[in-house]
Amino acid sequence: MAFTLKVVLFDFGGVIAEEGFHEGLIAIGKKNSLDPERFFADVDRLIYETGYLVGTADEALFWNEVRRITRIAGSDQELREEILARFVFRPAMLACADRLRAARLKVGMLSDQTNWLEEIDRKTPLFRHFDIVFNSFRLHKSKRDPSVFRDVCSIMGVRPNEVLFVDDNNNHIKRAADEGLITIHFKTPEDFEKQLRAFI
């Protein structure tokens, strides 16, 4: 396949950082004596259905709905801290982003995140490693909608086959590939570096 790579787009949780959303919810489920994976699935559904993921509802509404459906205890602040504390940056991936930018590629982030992503950046500068950050909370559209990939390519002024998209979620990878993006399904930083060599 002939292409000229211009952009590398990274997911945040699970790629640039440890997957804090999943791990935090697993911890909350266990603390509340619930089946942790079922609790995660319920909350993952609710963050989308309430509109919090795409910025059409606020955090208070989201957590109120979580408490109503699952009967868990805890304040908004206590629950969110269980998640945010687990988004631990992966230095190797940030170094890779810096290296790709030094090689004159445009490097961005495409994340299904809420306003939490901006809070994380305020506490520990993250966005400085990227030329552009796309967040579902600000786009009002998530990676569950395939058209988001066309949207971000249009914003950046590139064709889909000029973009390498890296995500740990195989469903997002499939949707991106269907829209014409080049993809790497992230598993570990070491595996990613090996796969990256095929494109860089």
pLDDT-derived band at 200 (thresholds 50, 70, 90) equals: confident
Same domain, 98 and 188: yes
Percent of the chain with pLDDT over 70: 98
Q: Which amino acid is at 25?
A: L
Same domain, 57 and 153: no
Asked if 7 and 156 count as a contact pair (C-beta separation under 8 A), the reply is: yes
What's the number of domains the chain is made of?
A: 2
C-alpha–C-alpha distance, residues 168 and 93, integer Å: 13
Q: What is the pLDDT of residues 149-160, one digit of tens each?
A: 999 999 999 999
Same domain, 96 and 151: yes
CATH number, domain of 106, equals: 3.40.50.1000
Q: Which of 34, 60, 84 is the last residue of a domain?
A: 84
pLDDT at 3: 63
In a domain, 2, yes or no: no
List C-alpha distances in Å: 68 to 39, 63, 65, 200: 13, 8, 5, 49
Identify the domain containing residue 46 by its residue range: 20-84
CB-based contacts of 67-74 (< 8 A; 24+ apart in sequence) = 69/42, 70/32, 70/34, 70/39, 70/42, 70/43, 71/32, 72/28, 72/29, 72/32, 72/34, 72/39, 73/32, 74/28
